[in-house]
Chain A
Amino acid sequence: MSDAFNQFSGTTTYIASDDLQQAVNVSCALEKPLLLRGEPGTGKTVLAENVATSLGMELISWHVKSTTKARDGLYVYDTVARLHDSRFGDADVKDISSYIKLGPLGRALASDKRVVLLIDEIDKADIEFPNDLLTEIDAMKFFIDETGKEIVAKERPLVIITSNNEKELPDAFLRRCIFHYIDFPDTELMTKIVRVHHPNMEEKVLDQCLELFFKLRDVPRIRKRPSTSELIDWIFALRKAGVDISRVGSGIPFLGTLLKNEQDMAILGNN
């Protein structure tokens, strides 16, 4: 295995499974975007931050919303501002380039150094959104029609894309990605993860917390099962309040940090 490969192996604050490490490294070596899927709260977004930290690259985030268009990621041509300026004549209207603002993808491609580009929750946008990005992600260059300028990436950015499975992504797009499904951690990995966030926690208390947590996840018919991030918040709340988990009887303190809707609370009450 070459040295260039095998660069990412988690950070002090982020525990990555072997599968995930390999996926990141493969995506790095093949220069293809890494597509991450998994339950909400399994650390998809946080991964990008940690990859950036551990590889010493800048992170550019693009948080996709339902109204986001692919072109917004490249650049936005602020017509309205230019029109207004033309009316009052207080700026140089002839210079179109001053009205062109690069979007996150545009900035990642224009950057001199290799950066990590996070395209967060790509499935939130329109169904055709990923298809509109194909050429840019493949060729790593784009054209600004208004100025006739072409921007070509000097260093192909490391692209990390997260998806919550809200929409099916198009095949043509998927074909260009490296895929990884972040599985829900098992008890062993979870212990490690909690340790990272709560380093000085007693073994016994941690075990009890995890036992309760996994039991809660196993309750049938729960709609939104609590995730890793919720577990960490919950333990934080417990410790902040100084609740001794071993003394707690049947009720779970701070249940609101774990379960997020009334039906789930009711189901738990019935059990």
Chain B
Amino acid sequence: MLIDFLFELRRQRVNVSSHEWMGLMEAMGKGLHNSSLDGFYRLARCICVKDISDFDAFDQAFLSYFKHVYVDVAAVTDDLLDWLRDPNKFDGLSEEERKMLQSLGLEELKRMFEERLKEQDERHDGGGKWIGTGGKSPFGHGGYHPSGVRIGGPGGGRSAMQVAEMRRFRDYRKDRVLDVRQIDVALRGLRRLGREGAVEDLDLDQTVDATCKNAGDLELVYTPPKRNRMKLILLMDVGGSMDPFSRLVEQLFTAASRTGRFASFEHYYFHNCVYENIYEDAAFHKPVAVADLIARTSRDERLVVVGDALMHPGELMSPGGSIYFYHHNAAAGATWLRRLEDHYRFTAWLNPEPHQYWPRTTIEAIASIFPMYHLSLEGLEDAIRHLVRGGQRPDPVGAEPFS
């Protein structure tokens, strides 16, 4: 049943709705799939998939649903018969080969074919025996065998199965980590619109009022257009265990610091854990007291921390636990983190470490203080939703790891 393909797609997390499925059925009713598997592949893809990041999942679903169809012996038999009936196709064979083939006979050939299908448990390219592509076996397609039987797929070009199997769109998957542009796109969601700045829009109601008051003589009133009033504070962990992620953090910073994006944007650095001071520069020369930051900024500003949250438990939990030998912190790192989280109404911690490393580490402890998200496109989108609307925090470690 074709409907199983729908469920296979949904299982692969391609978000196909019944609306699209009906569209596909209508299209097939009109014969738009050209009665071929290739046509169906293209048709189904352009109707069901709406984002290149889902192409790979679609390919996988297609492969898993149609791999049995592909080697459907009954459908292939006609091809075999045709091939055997057509004497022209024997041209490329040597005398010996021809004899050998004739000696095989049709039944024999069919039997061999089925047997090999059974023996073969995966796709095969090249080689001289298995059914597949590019080989010298008489079965398969795109091969060198002078008179091979082509199974499925049109000659020349790439068949749907081949396209699906190449999985060319793997790189576009969403759970992959991001580039600046993608972060840019995601950050556009982070906004709170309000009217301020130069007056440009005509305010109709006010104009009517003003004109009335002006004894009917026209008085035009303009208001400022809507602008983003979101204020953002970005706190970045640099150095040490964060080095492998420095490029990622740099990209996030680049995207966030674009001028005009936020009403105000401040960024600070820390190493490993936040104590009484954070720094304006990544070289830790210009300290800013966390207490000052808290006193100076309003609760409505959004705080985003980027860090791997991995450290020795002592660095987080005990006073004097700072990674720097000469630095004695009177309050534990966890205390400072909690103060920050308490002050701001909306906070998020973005962690580049994959979910599976979170349990039973300091990440788990920090995730119980800050709402923590994985620094991937999906995680970032979730974090932004939380920053804009608040609502339920993610489960510190229960968050399902996607692999």
With an 8 A cutoff between CB atoms, is A166 at the interface? yes
Within 8 A of A (CB), among B183-220: 184-185, 188-189, 202, 204, 207, 211, 217-218, 220
Within 8 A of B (CB), among A60-109: 67, 79-80, 83-84, 86-87
With an 8 A cutoff between CB atoms, is B79 at the interface? no
- Closest residue of A by beta carbon distance from B172: A181
Quick check: B34 and A175 within 8 Å, CB to CB? no
Which residues of chain B come closer than 8 Å to A35, judged between CB atoms?
50
With an 8 A cutoff between CB atoms, is A177 at the interface? yes
Interface residue count for A (Cβ, 8 Å)?
A: 37
Which residues of chain B come closer than 8 Å to A44, judged between CB atoms?
none
Quick check: A5 and B47 within 8 Å, CB to CB? no
Which residues of chain B come closer than 8 Å to A80, judged between CB atoms?
202, 220
Which residue of A5, A127, A166, A183 is within 8 Å of B30 (Cβ)? A5
With an 8 A cutoff between CB atoms, is B80 at the interface? no
Quick check: A175 and B42 within 8 Å, CB to CB? no
Bound together, the chains give a CA A113 to CA B132 distance in angstroms of 50
| Contact flag A19-B47 (CB < 8 Å), given A80-B202, A86-B218, A127-B188 | no
Bound together, the chains give a CA A32 to CA B24 distance in angstroms of 12
Which residues of chain B come closer than 8 Å to A202, judged between CB atoms?
none
| Contact flag A37-B52 (CB < 8 Å), given A22-B46, A171-B15 | yes
With an 8 A cutoff between CB atoms, is A214 at the interface? no
Which residues of chain B come closer than 8 Å to A37, judged between CB atoms?
52
| Contact flag A29-B32 (CB < 8 Å), given A23-B46, A83-B218 | yes
Within 8 A of A (CB), among B132-188: 157, 168, 181, 184-185, 188
With an 8 A cutoff between CB atoms, is A165 at the interface? yes
With an 8 A cutoff between CB atoms, is A174 at the interface? yes
Which residue of B17, B30, B211 is within 8 Å of A2 (Cβ)? B30
Which residue of A26, A67, A165, A169 is within 8 Å of B46 (Cβ)? A26
Quick check: B49 and A179 within 8 Å, CB to CB? yes
| Contact flag A166-B43 (CB < 8 Å), given A30-B23, A171-B15 | no
- Closest residue of A by beta carbon distance from B52: A181
- Closest residue of B by beta carbon distance from A67: B225
With an 8 A cutoff between CB atoms, is B27 at the interface? yes
Bound together, the chains give a CA A30 to CA B46 distance in angstroms of 12
Extra pairs beyond A165-B181, A171-B50 (9, CB < 8 Å): A18-B157, A23-B42, A79-B202, A168-B381, A169-B50, A171-B15, A174-B50, A178-B47, A181-B55
Q: Which residues of B contact A (CB under 8 A)?
A: 15, 17, 19-20, 23, 26-27, 30-32, 34, 39, 42-43, 45-47, 49-52, 55, 157, 168, 181, 184-185, 188-189, 202, 204, 207, 211, 217-218, 220, 225, 381
Q: Which residues of A contact B (CB under 8 A)?
A: 1-2, 5, 18-19, 22-23, 25-26, 29-30, 32, 35, 37, 67, 79-80, 83-84, 86-87, 127, 165-169, 171, 174-181, 183
Interface CB pairs A-B, < 8 A, 25: A1-B31, A5-B31, A5-B32, A22-B42, A22-B46, A23-B42, A26-B43, A26-B47, A29-B27, A30-B27, A30-B47, A35-B50, A80-B202, A83-B207, A83-B220, A165-B181, A166-B188, A167-B188, A168-B185, A171-B15, A179-B45, A179-B46, A179-B47, A179-B51, A180-B46
